[in-house]
Amino acid sequence: MARRTGWVQPKVSRLETGAQLPTEDDIRTWAAHTYASAEQIEALLDMLSAAHVEYTPTADLLKRGALARRQAHIGAMEAAAGRIGEYQPAFIPGLVQIPAYSRALLDLPGSARSRGASDAELDQIIAGRVRRQELLREPGRRWQFVIGEPALWSAPGGADVQEAQLDHLVAIHELPGVELGVVPLRAPMPVMPLSGFRVLDEEFVFVESLAGEQRLEGSEITPILRAFETVRHAAATGADVVAMIEQVRAKLHSKDN
């Protein structure tokens, strides 16, 4: 098969064992050399399209031990990626959250606590997230975080946690591999309203909802990658972000007085 297709033998092996997803061209090439019918080719292409969307219900994510394993799995994928991006319109992305902010979010209705997660499991989630955050300071990766301005005002743990989180954002934005952008409330809507999502290179997109998590790849991710670039270009960056954070901080102190 390798000789017929012009592929290297390991590729044939990976496709046969399911270690590598084929492309549409791979399927058509394979089919041409195995005398597949037109109906079989269409069925394979339908299977490929379905394989590019992996859905995990929240109930499965919250099974005993699954949350900690998920943190480790995502961390391994991030460690292998050269570019990691995330867009969150209304709260701070997990990779730049301080532990107290993470804990407060996980305690909210609809989050892990309300779905039965124990204190120990929440501790595991937060510890796994802290381990993933160590990658932010390693060279060789680009980190692109885009948030909506409402995220700066989100205070799930109260004003003290909010202010500590804002301080952390200022520190993170100064890291050499990190790009932090904030889409101002007064900016024209850059894209149709979207839930948050994460991007790993040009290969995977993760979309979370209350019902579960989708992992997308292949052609399915193209519109989301385009949307991410749109919100990136609509976002304030650099000194403008720091100025926006300082405005929020000033409002917090004015309320205290």
Say which residue the tokens 């209705």 belong to.
109
In this structure, which topology does domain 53-256 adopt according to CATH? Endonuclease; Chain A (3.30.870)
Whole-model pTM?
0.77
Contact 205, 215 (CB under 8 A): yes
Tell me phi and psi for residue 58, to 5 degrees: -60, -35
The pair of structure tokens assigned to 188 is 């024209």
Residue 45 zone, left/alpha/beta (φ > 0; ψ -120 to 50; rest): alpha
Please calculate the CA angle 64-69-73 and round it to the nearest 5 degrees: 155
Alpha carbon of residue 220 to chain centroid: 15
pLDDT in tens, 24-74: 888 999 999 999 999 998 888 878 776 666 766 666 666 656 767 777 888
Distance CA 138, CA 177 (A): 8
The pair of structure tokens assigned to 200 is 């790993």
Instruction: Reduce the DSSP state of residue 182 to 3 states and report it.
Output: strand
Instruction: Reduce the DSSP state of residue 112 to 3 states and report it.
Output: coil
Q: Where are the domains of the chain?
A: 2-51, 53-256
Quick one: DSSP state of residue 136?
A: G
pLDDT in tens, 241-257: 999 999 999 988 886 65
